Amino acid sequence: MSKINGTSLIVKLGGVVIGSSTSCTLNLNQDLPSVANKGSQGWDEVIPGAKDWSVDCDGLVDFADTLNMGDLASGLIAGTEYVLEFTTSTVGHDYLYGNVLIASISATADTEQPVTFSASFKGNGILNKGTVTASA
């Protein structure tokens, strides 16, 4: 598989692309509880623990987008759970997906600059892997 241009990576909520996004980040974490004991000879030992994941997305505010910052704010207020896809639209590429809740949204409006937004989504359960079978 060839390298992926960052412009090709998109975030979808409920099958709809978050409009006017400029960047996205996938975060995967795993707790590593210590199991050090007297036999560890002073060295820490760990085991795999709970895992979690989240996605951050930045973009330009455009209320004409099909899924825009206003829609995200409404979803946060309502506590709506979405299926999030971290994907490309290229058939055959792998993508990641799972249920999320919107953890935070912020908007920035600097003088003589485009209005931007940042949104964070917290995974609610397992992160799954699939293969793109049709164009977005």
Residue appearing with tokens 């241009």 = 5
CA 132 centroid distance within chain: 17
CB 99 within 8 A of CB 123: yes
Segment 27-69, tens digit of pLDDT: 999 999 999 999 999 999 999 999 999 999 999 999 999 999 9
Rounded Cα distance between 44 and 50, Å, is: 18
Which domains, and CATH codes, for the chain? 11-29+50-131 (2.30.110.20)
pTM value is 0.91
Looking at residue 127, what DSSP letter applies? P
> How confident is the model over 117-133, as a mean pLDDT?
96
Rounded Cα distance between 128 and 95, Å, is: 8
